């Protein structure tokens, strides 16, 4: 069996949002009446020793009356002959076996023996070995005569059979045959409990404690009976395309396909089935190309490297493991934690200081997962980070844009690919102004008064240097534009341009502020970028209609403020594009490794609105102090998934604590008061203890009550989260939510 076939046939169970479903074994719910391990083992051991002591007393005649029922219910002459004949021996041994069973049942109930194997024999192998050990012990005790099983069986056979009529070989054969039958009698229940037959057949993983796979998903939760494996392509067989299914099954068995190929072909078939068109062409292509059917336009069938475990069948990427902490729900203790598009669609906000693992342990796995989804035709991703940020090798992306790097092959469209001047002005205003929305509206109005006339006169929007000169109110630039508008016959736009020129002469006009901001992009390092002449075709968000992988490398080293403008510009363009698209079957996601000083009111609105457009956003922050104070609480509240890494400040933790709310917990208040009870002897003894120990004898009263407590307080987030850990809360696009979970990002 190839690796990809084993992957397809593996069981998958997800019993809570964010649980990594691949080969997950659900935990049992917490039992409030659960006995502690020490008490369980101690009680079982004590009851066992007591039972052994009682049986020893009975067996050695120290409690003679236990045989009275036997003598009363059997003929009197059986017990007066001095020796036991065969009927008496059979009755005596069966009576001893009955008492042994009654004692074992009684002390087993008292010591709760059944709970011990249920709690500690959690795997088929452990159950099998334990059953073998118990069977050997029972056989040895029976052989020695401590458990009268052989003694109860041998008298059932005539003495001539066992003695063999003087023939020792016949006697040995009969005797050992009886021994073998008794051994099988002991081994049968041990084999049933230990699952020996399943182990011999190689089906140890499908015992009663293993989840059953759901048909068509390789084993997701909720199935009562196992169904056909995805490795057999049941969806194609159900549609009657058995030849294509056999071809793909053979490719999987021989290991000629990987997980990306399987999911890509499944997705392509789903599209064909949804449109009811192209089924014949699809099957012909499968028969001709096999696993290479419908390869991504880049030709890639996998990424150059993977840094995290992925399960493309469920769309999940594993980022850590839930800690066995009492504040974690029982579903998450020891379970893998994973992210997928249903979670990213609600928005993911990650806050943590440098070195806490934000990029390497969260951002890169998520970017890697989305790139794999793009190769299957199910997603488009834009990863925005500094050039030195580890978001995977450059070969993992189709388009790598590096503003400020002369070696960059791709350019960025400053206006988002739109031909509408008003929309272009609004997008640019959100990038240039990081203040309140009133300021952004003023900026959009000023920019619209320039972009509309320029586009009408020249057929495209102005370049960065020209836009800066227009905002600065340079006379000859206005004159040239006015002449071009007159030649184009657009008097209305001439009046709008004149109005902008008059406003630019007033004190406090926003045009000069916009000119200062756009000047950050009008630097020699960016010469040749943001071209609008039409000679090049810069990247715009319209390309997200295709399963594209884009990486934008920001020039953070020498142009930090320009990088922030570009981040705000990309967020605004992404939001506008995905909300306006008609075909929303493909998931689109924007990752920003460091969104500090780039969060605007539009960003906050986008986090909560993208889920309806099958899109999502992942924002990383070093601290919430980089966000305007008026937006901090609303930013945390609007993100469906929130992650606080180890090392966050108490000020940052306060916003997470408020967003996660409170829960009811049980508290115990212990009150100690001096003991004044008793008469003179007790008072004298207390006085002596006080003289020797120096402590006053007290009595304790315990008060148990339920109170409202924060799930994670700001102090806990700042001081008790270990290094390499994080606290994560999750919400799916379907409305399911999970309380905060402490997870180990390094596990």
Reported as a pLDDT band with limits 50, 70 and 90, residue 586 is: very high
pLDDT at residue 560, rounded to an integer = 87
> What mean pLDDT value characterizes the chain?
84
Backbone φ and ψ of 641, nearest 5°: -115, 130
Higher pLDDT, 482 or 87: 482
CA atoms of 695 and 693, how far apart (whole Å): 5
Are 354 and 275 found together in one domain?
no
- List, for residues 261-284, the tens digit of each pLDDT value: 999 999 999 999 888 888 899 999
pLDDT at residue 747, rounded to an integer = 84
Reported as a pLDDT band with limits 50, 70 and 90, residue 89 is: low
CB crowding 339-352: b at 16 or more within 10 Å, else e: bbbbbbbbbbbbbb
Reported as a pLDDT band with limits 50, 70 and 90, residue 504 is: confident
Please say if the pLDDT value at position 302 is more than 50.
yes
Are 139 and 185 found together in one domain?
yes
Q: Find out whether 128 and 134 touch, Cβ atoms under 8 Å.
A: no
Please say if the pLDDT value at position 493 is more than 70.
yes
Residue 228 domain flag: no
Backbone φ and ψ of 510, nearest 5°: -75, -15
- Cα 87 vs. chain centroid, distance in angstroms? 67
Residue 282 domain flag: yes
pLDDT at residue 19, rounded to an integer = 94
Higher pLDDT, 144 or 110: 110
Q: Find out whether 261 and 291 touch, Cβ atoms under 8 Å.
A: yes
CA atoms of 177 and 395, how far apart (whole Å): 71
- Domain of 567, CATH number, reads 3.40.50.300
Residue 109 domain flag: yes
- List, for residues 151-189, the tens digit of each pLDDT value: 556 555 555 555 555 566 666 766 667 777 777 777 888
Reported as a pLDDT band with limits 50, 70 and 90, residue 514 is: very high
Are 531 and 434 found together in one domain?
yes
Least confident of 76-80, 544-548, 624-628: 76-80
Residue 8 domain flag: no
pLDDT at residue 217, rounded to an integer = 43
pLDDT at residue 550, rounded to an integer = 95
Average pLDDT over residues 316-339: 92
Reported as a pLDDT band with limits 50, 70 and 90, residue 598 is: confident
pTM tops 0.75: yes
CA atoms of 593 and 602, how far apart (whole Å): 18
Are 373 and 388 found together in one domain?
yes
Cα–Cα distances in angstroms (integers) from residue 681 to residues 382, 678, 685, 692, in the given order: 83, 8, 6, 17
Structural domain count of the chain: 5
Residue from 594, 517, 582 nearest 554 by CA: 594
Are 237 and 259 found together in one domain?
yes
Please say if the pLDDT value at position 522 is more than 80.
yes
Domain final position from 538, 569, 600: 538
Q: Find out whether 667 and 705 touch, Cβ atoms under 8 Å.
A: yes
pLDDT at residue 211, rounded to an integer = 41
Q: How many Cβ atoms from other residues are within 10 Å of residue 101's Cβ?
A: 11
Are 442 and 569 found together in one domain?
no
Average pLDDT over residues 68-93: 63
Q: How many Cβ atoms from other residues are within 10 Å of residue 444's Cβ?
A: 24
Residue 219 domain flag: no
Domain final position from 295, 318, 346: 295
Are 46 and 152 found together in one domain?
yes
- Cα 350 vs. chain centroid, distance in angstroms? 15
Residue 244 domain flag: yes
Are 266 and 161 found together in one domain?
no
Average pLDDT over residues 339-355: 94
Residue 15 domain flag: no
Please say if the pLDDT value at position 339 is more than 90.
yes
Are 705 and 735 found together in one domain?
no
Please say if the pLDDT value at position 416 is more than 60.
yes
Reported as a pLDDT band with limits 50, 70 and 90, residue 536 is: confident
Are 338 and 349 found together in one domain?
yes
Please tell me what DSSP assigns to residue 639. Answer: -
Q: How many Cβ atoms from other residues are within 10 Å of residue 655's Cβ?
A: 24
CA atoms of 545 and 585, how far apart (whole Å): 10
Structural domain of 490: 417-538
Please say if the pLDDT value at position 258 is more than 50.
yes
CB crowding 716-731: b at 16 or more within 10 Å, else e: bbbeebeebbbbbbbb
- List, for residues 379-393, the tens digit of each pLDDT value: 999 999 998 889 999
Least confident of 179-183, 428-432, 633-637, 658-662: 179-183
Reported as a pLDDT band with limits 50, 70 and 90, residue 111 is: confident
Least confident of 125-134, 168-177, 179-188, 676-685: 168-177
Average pLDDT over residues 517-523: 91
Please say if the pLDDT value at position 729 is more than 90.
yes
Reported as a pLDDT band with limits 50, 70 and 90, residue 399 is: very high
Please tell me what DSSP assigns to residue 281. Answer: H
Please say if the pLDDT value at position 214 is more than 90.
no
Q: Find out whether 136 and 128 touch, Cβ atoms under 8 Å.
A: no
Are 435 and 403 found together in one domain?
no
Rounded percentage of the chain residues whose pLDDT exceeds 70: 88
Residue 669 domain flag: yes
Are 693 and 625 found together in one domain?
no
Count Cα atoms within 13 angstroms, Cβ side, for 66: 19
């Amino acid at each position: 069996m190839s690796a990809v076939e084993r992957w397809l046939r593996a069981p998958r169970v997800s019993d809570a949002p964010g649980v990594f479903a691949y080969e997950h074994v659900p935990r049992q719910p917490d039992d409030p009446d659960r006995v502690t391990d020490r008490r369980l083992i101690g009680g079982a051991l004590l009851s066992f020793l007591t039972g052994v002591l009682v049986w020893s007393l009975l067996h050695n005649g120290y409690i003679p009356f236990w045989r009275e029922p036997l003598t009363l219910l059997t003929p009197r002459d059986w017990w007066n002959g001095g020796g036991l004949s065969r009927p008496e021996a059979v009755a005596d041994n069966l009576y001893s076996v009955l008492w042994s069973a009654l004692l074992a049942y009684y002390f087993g109930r008292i010591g709760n023996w059944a709970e011990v194997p249920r709690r500690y024999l959690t795997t088929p192998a452990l159950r099998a070995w334990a059953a073998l050990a118990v069977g050997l012990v029972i056989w040895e005790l029976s052989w020695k005569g401590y458990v009268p099983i052989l003694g109860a069986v041998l008298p059932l056979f005539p003495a001539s059979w066992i003695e063999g009529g003087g023939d020792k070989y016949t006697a040995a054969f009969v005797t050992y045959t009886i021994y073998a039958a008794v051994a099988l009698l002991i081994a049968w229940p041990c084999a049933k409990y230990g699952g020996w037959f399943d182990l011999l057949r190689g089906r140890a993983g499908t015992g009663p404690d293993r989840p059953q796979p759901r048909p068509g998903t390789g084993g997701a939760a909720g199935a009562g009976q196992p169904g056909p494996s995805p490795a057999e392509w049941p969806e194609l067989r159900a549609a009657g395309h058995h030849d294509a299914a056999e071809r793909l099954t053979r490719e999987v068995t021989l290991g000629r396909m990987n997980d990306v190929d399987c999911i890509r072909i499944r997705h392509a078939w789903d599209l064909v089935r949804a449109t009811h068109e192209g089924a014949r062409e699809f099957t012909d292509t499968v028969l001709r190309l096999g696993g290479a059917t419908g390869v991504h336009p880049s030709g890639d069938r996998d990424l150059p490297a993977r840094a995290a475990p992925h399960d493309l069948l469920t769309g999940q990427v594993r980022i850590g493991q839930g800690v066995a902490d009492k504040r974690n729900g029982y579903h998450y203790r020891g379970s893998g934690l994973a992210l997928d598009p249903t979670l990213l669609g609600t928005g993911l906000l990650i806050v943590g200081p440098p070195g806490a693992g934000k990029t390497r342990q969260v951002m890169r796995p998520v970017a890697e997962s989305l790139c794999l989804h793009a190769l299957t035709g199910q997603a488009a991703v834009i990863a925005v980070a500094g050039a030195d940020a580890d978001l995977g090798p450059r070969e993992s992306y189709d388009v790598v844009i590096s503003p400020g790097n002369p070696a960059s092959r791709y350019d960025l469209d400053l206006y988002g690919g739109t031909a509408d001047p008003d929309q272009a002005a609004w997008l640019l205003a959100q990038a240039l102004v990081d203040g309140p929305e009133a300021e952004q509206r003023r900026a959009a109005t000023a920019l619209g008064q320039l972009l509309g006339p320029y586009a009408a006169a020249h057929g495209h929007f102005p370049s960065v240097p020209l836009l800066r000169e227009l905002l600065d109110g340079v006379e000859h630039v206005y004159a040239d534009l006015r002449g071009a508008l007159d030649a184009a016959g657009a008097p209305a736009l001439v009046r709008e341009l004149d109005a902008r020129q008059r406003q630019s002469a007033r004190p406090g006009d926003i045009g000069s502020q916009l000119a200062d901001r756009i000047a950050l992009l009008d630097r020699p390092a960016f010469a040749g970028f943001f071209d609008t002449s039409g000679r090049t075709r810069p990247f715009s968000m319209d390309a997200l209609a295709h399963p594209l992988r884009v990486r934008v490398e920001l020039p953070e080293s020498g142009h930090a403020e320009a990088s922030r403008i570009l981040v705000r510009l990309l967020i605004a363009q992404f939001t506008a594009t995905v909300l306006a698209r008609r075909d929303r079957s493909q998931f689109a996601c924007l990752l920003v490794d460091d969104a500090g000083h780039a969060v605007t009111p539009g960003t906050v609105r986008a986090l909560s609105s993208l889920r309806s457009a099958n899109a999502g956003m992942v924002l990383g922050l070093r601290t919430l102090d980089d966000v305007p104070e008026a937006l901090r609480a609303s930013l945390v509240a609007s993100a469906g998934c929130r992650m606080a890494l180890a090392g966050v400040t108490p000020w940052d933790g306060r916003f997470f604590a408020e967003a996660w709310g409170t829960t009811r917990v049980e508290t115990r208040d212990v009150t100690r008061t001096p003991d004044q009870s008793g008469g003179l002897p007790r008072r004298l003894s207390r006085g002596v203890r006080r003289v020797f120990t120096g402590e006053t004898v007290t009595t304790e009263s315990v008060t148990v009550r339920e109170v409202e407590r924060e799930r994670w307080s700001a102090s806990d987030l700042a001081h008790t989260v270990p290094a390499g850990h994080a606290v994560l809360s999750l919400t799916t696009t379907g409305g399911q939510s999970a309380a905060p979970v402490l997870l180990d990002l390094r596990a």
